[in-house]
Structure 1
Amino acid sequence: MRYVIIGAGAVGGTIGVRLAEAGRDVTLVARGAHLDVIRERGLTLRQPDSEVTARLAATDGPGDEPLPADTVLVLTVKSQDTAGALAAWVDAPVAGGGTAGERLPLVTAQNGVANERAALRLFADVHPVCVWLPATHLDPGVVVANGYPHPGMLQIGRYPGGADDTDRVIAADLDAAGFVAPVRADVMRWKYGKLLSNLGNGLQALLGGDIPDELAERVRAEGVAALAAAGIACTTPEEEKVERGDLVGQRPVDGEARSGGSTWQSLARGTGSTEVDHLNGEVALLGRLHGVPTPANVAVQRAVRRAVRERVGAGAFPLAELEKLIA
Structure 2
Amino acid sequence: MKCLIIGAGGIGCYYGARLIEASHDVTFVARGEHLKAMQQQGLSVEHEALQFQAPVDALSMHELLAQRQCDDYDLIMLTLKSGATAHWLNEAKDWLLQGSAPILSLQNGVDNEPLIAGVVGEARTLGGLAVRIGGHIIAPGQIEARGPAQVVMGRWPQVDAEDPTLTALAKALNEAQIPTRTTLNIRYELWKKLLINNGVNPLSALTGLDTRSLTADPALGKTVYAMMQETAIAASADEVTLTAADVDEMFNLISQFDAIKTSMLVDREKGRPLELDDISGAVIRRCQQLGEAAPNTELVQRLLQLDIRPVQWQPLTA
Q: Same fold (TM over 0.5)?
A: yes
Equivalent in the alignment of 1:114: 111
Contact 1:138/1:265 (8 A) holds in 2: no
Check 1:142–1:306 CA distance in 2 against 1; reply closer, same or farther (3 A cut): farther
Task: Report deviation, 1:55.
Answer: 1.4
Equivalent in the alignment of 2:149: 152
Secondary structure of 1:293's aligned partner: coil
Task: Report deviation, 1:70.
Answer: 4.3
Distance, in Å, in 1 between the alignment partners of 2:154 and 2:192 is 15
Distance, in Å, in 1 between the alignment partners of 2:73 and 2:232 is 40
Structure 2: runs of 5 or more not aligned:
215-219, 313-318
Please tell me the residue identity of whatever aligns with 1:172. Answer: K
Task: Report deviation, 1:104.
Answer: 1.7
Contact 2:226/2:296 (8 A) holds in 1: yes
Distance, in Å, in 2 between the alignment partners of 1:134 and 1:277 is 21
**Correspondent of 1:224 among 210, 232, 243:** 232
Distance, in Å, in 1 between the alignment partners of 2:311 and 2:241 is 35
Distance, in Å, in 2 between the alignment partners of 1:241 and 1:293 is 21
Please tell me the residue identity of whatever aligns with 2:87. Answer: G
Please tell me the residue identity of whatever aligns with 1:261. Answer: T
Equivalent in the alignment of 2:130: 131
Task: Report deviation, 1:9.
Answer: 0.6
Equivalent in the alignment of 2:222: 214
Please tell me the residue identity of whatever aligns with 1:193. Answer: K
Contact 1:191/1:234 (8 A) holds in 2: no
Task: Report deviation, 1:40.
Answer: 1.1
Secondary structure of 2:265's aligned partner: helix
Structure 1: runs of 5 or more not aligned:
251-256, 320-327
Secondary structure of 2:104's aligned partner: strand
Give the TM-score, by structure 2 length: 0.84
Secondary structure of 1:11's aligned partner: helix
Q: Bigger shift: 38-47 or 163-172?
A: 163-172
Equivalent in the alignment of 1:74: 77
Contact 1:6/1:85 (8 A) holds in 2: no
Contact 1:161/1:185 (8 A) holds in 2: yes
Distance, in Å, in 2 between the alignment partners of 1:114 and 1:269 is 25
**Alignment root-mean-square deviation, CA:** 2.5
Distance, in Å, in 2 between the alignment partners of 1:21 and 1:305 is 41
Contact 1:190/1:234 (8 A) holds in 2: no
Identity %: 27
Secondary structure of 2:45's aligned partner: strand
Equivalent in the alignment of 2:16: 16
Check 1:238–1:169 CA distance in 2 against 1; reply closer, same or farther (3 A cut): farther
Report how many residues are paired.
Answer: 291
**Correspondent of 2:65 among 25, 39, 63:** 63
Distance, in Å, in 2 between the alignment partners of 1:131 and 1:109 is 6
Task: Report deviation, 1:10.
Answer: 1.4
Secondary structure of 1:129's aligned partner: strand
Distance, in Å, in 2 between the alignment partners of 1:13 and 1:30 is 10
Please tell me the residue identity of whatever aligns with 1:268. Answer: E
Task: Report deviation, 1:128.
Answer: 0.7
Please tell me the residue identity of whatever aligns with 2:288. Answer: R
Contact 2:196/2:251 (8 A) holds in 1: no
Check 1:24–1:238 CA distance in 2 against 1; reply closer, same or farther (3 A cut): farther
Distance, in Å, in 2 between the alignment partners of 1:167 and 1:241 is 29
Equivalent in the alignment of 1:39: 39
Equivalent in the alignment of 1:142: 142
Distance, in Å, in 1 between the alignment partners of 2:105 and 2:274 is 18
Give the TM-score, by structure 1 length: 0.82
Equivalent in the alignment of 2:217: none
Check 1:221–1:3 CA distance in 2 against 1; reply closer, same or farther (3 A cut): same
Distance, in Å, in 1 between the alignment partners of 2:228 and 2:249 is 16
Deviations 1:275-295 (A, max 9, x none): 111111111011111000112
Distance, in Å, in 2 between the alignment partners of 1:121 and 1:34 is 30
Equivalent in the alignment of 1:317: 310
Deviations 1:56-94 (A, max 9, x none): 11111133232335431111001111112212222116x
Structure with greater helix percent: 2
Contact 2:8/2:28 (8 A) holds in 1: yes
Please tell me the residue identity of whatever aligns with 1:317. Answer: P
